[in-house]
Amino acid sequence: MKPTVQQLTDWDKHYVWHAFTQMACYDPLIIESAEGCELIDIEGRRLLDGVSSMWCNVHGHQHPQIDAAIQEQLGKVAHVTNLGCSNSTAIRLAKRLAELTPGDLDHSFFCSDGASALEVAIKLAFQYWHQCENPQPQKTTYIGFEDAYHGDTIGTISVGGVDRFNAVFKPLMFPVHRLPIPDRRVPDEAMACEHHLRILEETLAQHHETIAAVVIEPLVLGAAGMIVQPEGYLRGVRELTHKYNVLMIADEVAVGVGRTGMMFACNQEEVVPDILCLGKGLSGGYLPMSAAIASTAIWNAYLGKYSEAKQLCHGHTFGGNPLGCAAALATLEIFETEGTLQQLPAKIARIAEHLTRLQNHPHVGDVRQCGMIAAVELVKDRTTGEHFPWTERHGNQVCQYAQEHGVWIRPLGDVLVIMPPLAVSLPQIDQLCEVIADGIEHVTSSKASS
């Protein structure tokens, strides 16, 4: 017998442990199906997917080309290990990624999620310095950034910097050189790039002999609150890592695959990292799929006789899964057949129009945008920059209002994230942004009146 709505709700609250969720306060939203850019819950209510099902859906739900690719692959084989074995779909995807990524990023290590890809990259960089042409095994530390998020494994929380997530695990974490968030507003927009690059260079000049890699989210720090970096900063990071002989790991799990208006965020400043990590949108948001894509120099350091034991001793059961690879190949093909990137400028401009109208609201401290990634930061007083008490959860209240008005979004504290699928239409952008604006007014005016 099919479960009732009430049964599913009760079971969800009792049996399912949700990520980043206080289960004692959890109010279920249960999705039954989806079409295009809309989610449909178990009661038939349609919600515009305003955050791409956590930043990963690209071409919409139930896209016929991706559906067909997965179904065709199911008719061949659903899973093949990549431990000493391969499959034709994974091979084709690796070649396609080599063609698309900048420079000589030609070698893909497939994983199942973004954190796994970053974990691979961290280990690749560490081992590289032990067996490259000029070994420097003392290079064992990393540079990371405050409030950066790269995943929830021990390695990724170590290079990440979100204290509210990681504090309890600090005894398990390895030490990292932690730099301030490269925020375009600090100290001001004119001096921000120079200021933050100077901080980075001071650290590299003092510690480069022991630093294996800089780990950075290009252009935008996602979980930090969609903090946009100053223009030119990413290019400056690449130049400094070259200067001081340190590797650069680019975490494009959230910002890659078209999110910034180009296929990869690194393309925006013509940067070629040593390792590029992809996830989320790589499979169109359909299936768990990620990749750590390494340069030829990294690859070559792992080649040698069997007796030299230079191979990377790391693997994932479902790495290179044919179904995920088929979804990824179809996702990348749609960029060409539907001209996805060519359609983005008009959508990016429409979001910008809405942000311009919001930026003078008395309870909006900042609006920020990088391509199809945007955010609205709520404050108690825009003049002083004072924030609302975090326990009042104003961002969450706006999201609740949005849900009641046909839009699904999820906040980062009091930062409202706008990141719809790239396939979103202009009228849907209007709907998304207008509901958010109405929600801000509703929540903040009710607080003022109370």
- Quick one: 88 and 109 in the same domain? yes
Q: Residue 192 pLDDT > 90, yes or no?
A: yes
| DSSP secondary structure string for all residues of 272-297 | --SEEEE-GGGGTTSS--EEEEEEHH
Decide which of 383 and 120 is more confident. 120
- Quick one: 297 and 429 in the same domain? no
Binned at pLDDT 50, 70 and 90, residue 448 comes out as low
Instruction: Give me the pLDDT at residue 164, please.
Output: 85
280 is annotated as contributing to ligand binding = yes
Q: Partners of 275 in the beta sheet?
A: 249, 294
Instruction: Give me the pLDDT at residue 446, please.
Output: 65
316 is annotated as contributing to ligand binding = yes
Nearest to 396 by CA among 406, 386, 411, 381: 411
Q: Which percentage of the chain shows pLDDT scores above 90?
A: 96
pLDDT single digits (tens) 21-55: 999 999 999 999 999 999 999 999 999 999 999 99
CA trace torsion 129, 131, 134, 139 (10° rounding): 20
Domain span holding position 162: 67-337
> Considering 337, 355, 384, which residue would you say is the last residue of a domain?
337
Q: For residue 390, with 0-12 CB atoms within 10 Å meaning exposed, 13-18 middle and 19 or more buried, which class applies? A: exposed
Average pLDDT over every residue of 134-144: 97
Average pLDDT over every residue of 105-125: 97
Nearest to 182 by CA among 214, 154, 156: 214
Task: Return the CATH number at 378.
Answer: 3.90.1150.10
Pairing outcome for strands 290-295 and 105-111: antiparallel
What phi and psi, each to the nearest 5 degrees, are found at residue 287?
-135, 155
- Quick one: 333 and 344 in the same domain? no
Question: Within 13 A of 53's CA, how many CA atoms are on the CB side?
Answer: 23
- Quick one: 343 and 326 in the same domain? no
Instruction: Give me the pLDDT at residue 311, please.
Output: 94
401 is annotated as contributing to ligand binding = no
Average pLDDT over every residue of 70-98: 97
Q: Residue 258 pLDDT > 90, yes or no?
A: yes
For residues 52-85, b (16+ Cβ closer than 10 Å) or e, as one string?
bbebbbbbbbebeebeebbeebeeeeeebebeee
Instruction: Give me the pLDDT at residue 450, please.
Output: 47
Q: Partners of 293 in the beta sheet?
A: 108, 276
Other CB atoms within a 10 A radius of the CB of residue 284 amount to 29
Task: Return the CATH number at 267.
Answer: 3.40.640.10
What single-letter amino acid sits at 98? A
CA atoms of 174 and 197, how far apart (whole Å): 24
- Quick one: 110 and 248 in the same domain? yes
- Quick one: 175 and 32 in the same domain? no
Nearest to 400 by CA among 443, 448, 359, 432: 443
> Considering 276, 309, 337, which residue would you say is the last residue of a domain?
337
Angle CA(125)–CA(113)–CA(286) in degrees, nearest 5? 145
Q: Residue 424 pLDDT > 50, yes or no?
A: yes
- Quick one: 112 and 252 in the same domain? yes
pLDDT single digits (tens) 216-237: 999 999 999 999 999 999 999 9
- Compute the chain's Rg from CA coordinates: 22
Query: What is the number of structural domains in the chain?
Result: 2
Binned at pLDDT 50, 70 and 90, residue 385 comes out as confident
Count, residues in the chain: 450
- Quick one: 108 and 240 in the same domain? yes
Q: Residue 359 pLDDT > 90, yes or no?
A: yes
Binned at pLDDT 50, 70 and 90, residue 449 comes out as very low
114 is annotated as contributing to ligand binding = yes
Binned at pLDDT 50, 70 and 90, residue 165 comes out as confident
- Quick one: 293 and 390 in the same domain? no
317 is annotated as contributing to ligand binding = yes
- Quick one: 16 and 91 in the same domain? no
Q: Residue 358 pLDDT > 50, yes or no?
A: yes
> Considering 337, 355, 381, which residue would you say is the last residue of a domain?
337
- Quick one: 49 and 96 in the same domain? no
410 is annotated as contributing to ligand binding = yes
- Quick one: 49 and 72 in the same domain? no
Full strand arrangement of the beta sheet holding 105-111:
105-111, 290-295, 275-278, 247-251, 211-216, 141-145, 177-179
Average pLDDT over every residue of 182-197: 97
